[in-house]
Copies of this chain bind each other. A is one copy, B any other.
Amino acid sequence: MATSDLSKDLAPIVSNTMADMVEIRLREYLKRKSFRPGDALPKELELAEALGVSRNVLREALSRLRMLGMIETKKKRGMVLARPDILGTFERVLDPLIIDTGTLQDIFELRLVLEMGLADLLYIRKTDKDIQELEAIAKKEVNVDNTFRIKTEIAFHGKLYEMSGNDTLKRFQIMLLPIFDYMVAVEQQPTRGDVTHMDLVQILKNGSKEDFKRGMESHLKPHFDRLK
């Protein structure tokens, strides 16, 4: 029993370390040889032999690269270098319940920074249609009870990110939302500034970029006040 426990304790560490090393070696190889998306990788057997590792260890390392979206298997062509989804794995680890408090606070602030910095892109790309849709979202908020408030918050700010015309940014903020909501739910203070969503819509319609920046600052003021 003691022996079986020992082998169980040691086995995962050894195999993990090997997979780590193989993963790093493969990355270096792909980079050094300037592999580009679509390029075919050598066969598994050749890779395992060149690295001097078992096929199980090699497959473990390949499985990681596959999970990261760096390689994919194509019919007939075998493994090829792929274009990774840069936010895909990030999404997997963003869970407010397992992230430490310091990082939660950092992410909370990161979202405030993004909101404050969004104005320039918005004023380059906003359209009348966008603003109409944003206004429709803001109108729905009136007389909504607290249960629905988070939903309308998400809809409004999500639409702003969409108007920035930047898909990565939009996806990124959607991922950060659960963290943001978690932090807001933990706090007990009121979270609304003097400038409402509808005020922001009116500024986007008739105001300057500077007006919008000042408006967003007032809108988020309760959050910034808590940082002081």
The stretch of A5-13, A146-154, A190-198 in contact with B is A5-13
Complex alpha-carbon distance, A45 and B7, angstroms: 12
Contact: B109 with A121, CB < 8 Å? Answer: yes
Contact: A124 with B228, CB < 8 Å? Answer: yes
B contact residues around A110 at 8 Å (CB): 166, 168-169, 172
Contact: B168 with A124, CB < 8 Å? Answer: no
- Interface of chain A: mostly helix, strand, loop or mixed: helix
B contact residues around A9 at 8 Å (CB): 73, 75-76, 78
Complex alpha-carbon distance, A57 and B100, angstroms: 30
Complex alpha-carbon distance, A91 and B42, angstroms: 25
Contact: A12 with B115, CB < 8 Å? Answer: no
Contact: B83 with A99, CB < 8 Å? Answer: yes
Contact: A227 with B16, CB < 8 Å? Answer: no
**Shortest CB distance A218–B (Å):** 12
The stretch of A60-68, A127-135, A137-145, A199-207 in contact with B is A60-68
B contact residues around A85 at 8 Å (CB): 93
Query: Does A213 have its Cβ within 8 Å of any Cβ on chain B?
Result: yes
| New A-B contacts (6) at CB < 8 Å, excluding given A9-B76, A68-B93 | A8-B44, A36-B97, A110-B172, A112-B121, A113-B164, A113-B166
Question: A residues bordering B, Cβ < 8 Å?
Answer: 8-9, 12-13, 15-16, 19-20, 23, 27, 31, 34-37, 43-45, 56, 59-60, 62-64, 66-70, 73, 75-76, 78-79, 81, 83-87, 89-90, 92-95, 97-100, 102-103, 106-107, 109-110, 112-121, 124, 164, 166-169, 172, 213, 217, 224, 227-228
